[in-house]
Amino acid sequence: MIRSITQIKPLEEIERLLEGLGRVFIIGCGTCATLTQTGGSPEVEAMKGQLSEKGKVITGVTVVPVACDHLTGQILNDIATPLKQADALLVMSCAFGVQTIAHQMGKTVIPALNTLFIGRETGAGEFNESCNQCGTCVIGETGGICPVTACHKGLVNGPCGGTNNGKCEIDSDKDCAWTAIYNRLTQLGRLDSMRRYQKPRNHLGEPSPGKFRIPV
Ligand code: SF4
Ligand code: SF4
């Protein structure tokens, strides 16, 4: 399953962000941040202990099922009193969850995590980036393997010269994405699609912030 992969910020940074905010309510997320062990119940309780030791008053803690879901506001409003008592909400979820809560709650919201990438669990406690939402998806021609994220150089027109026995020249622990693509396309009998040239992307054509409207 695809997840937002997060990492807990250093405690010193969280303390700095909470400067002058003595009363804190901590919110974890029961989905991605629970899986990555950055914002589930044990991490929320550990954060409560650490901040209490630093002199913060913790008015309450909770772990919402899916922080980035629009229902989060409703769930949090059911525990309105300890939330109101807090000077700030410390959110242990990915940035989507933090933004959802900031938008819905009208209170100071502090992120406790850094959001690293959208990824997939590839082994016990191991997560790999799956897609960086490049806007020009090429995986229809690469056997469903994304070269933009899986290749260290983000090459979309075949491998570099450094492939070594199926491993990447930059990180010998990592499989070469283009060897994997070659093998997958061979299996599928679609090796010809490796010959198709992928045009350079027009980075200038992507306005920020990204917006999309369904054409009418
Ligand atoms: S090519 Fe890779 S990064 Fe780009 S949209 Fe497709 S899966 Fe995502
Ligand atoms: S060895 Fe493979 S994965 Fe590594 S940079 Fe070259 S083509 Fe990409």
What structural domains and CATH numbers belong to the chain? 2-116 (3.40.50.2300), 131-202 (no CATH)
Residues forming a β-bridge with 118: 4
Residues forming a β-bridge with 3: 119
How far apart, in Å, are the Cα atoms of 29 and each of 35, 72, 88, 113, 157? 9, 10, 17, 11, 39
CB 134 within 8 A of CB 201: yes
Question: Ligand 1 center to residue 129 CA distance, Å?
Answer: 10
Question: Ligand 2 center to residue 156 CA distance, Å?
Answer: 10
Which residue's CA lies nearest to atom 2 of ligand 2? 176
pLDDT classification of 2: cutoffs 50, 70, 90: low
- Which of 149, 152, 198, 199 has most ligand 1 atoms within 8 Å of its beta carbon, as the pocket-test mutant? 149
**Tokens at residue 172, please?**
């010998």
| Pairing assessment for the beta strands 113-123 and 126-129 based on DSSP bridges | antiparallel
Give the ligand with the smallest distance to the CA of 177. Answer: 2
Beta strands in the chain (DSSP E): 2-8, 23-29, 57-64, 88-92, 109-111, 113-123, 126-129
pLDDT at 3 over 90: no
pLDDT at 52 over 80: yes
Q: How far apart are CA 141 and CA 143, in angstroms?
A: 6
pLDDT in tens, 138-170: 999 999 999 999 999 999 999 999 999 999 999
pTM above 0.75, yes or no: yes
Environment class of 53 (CB within 10 Å of its CB; exposed 0-12, middle 13-18, buried 19+): exposed
- pLDDT above 70 covers what percent of the chain? 96
Which residue's CA lies nearest to atom 1 of ligand 1? 137
Q: How far apart are CA 52 and CA 47, in angstroms?
A: 8
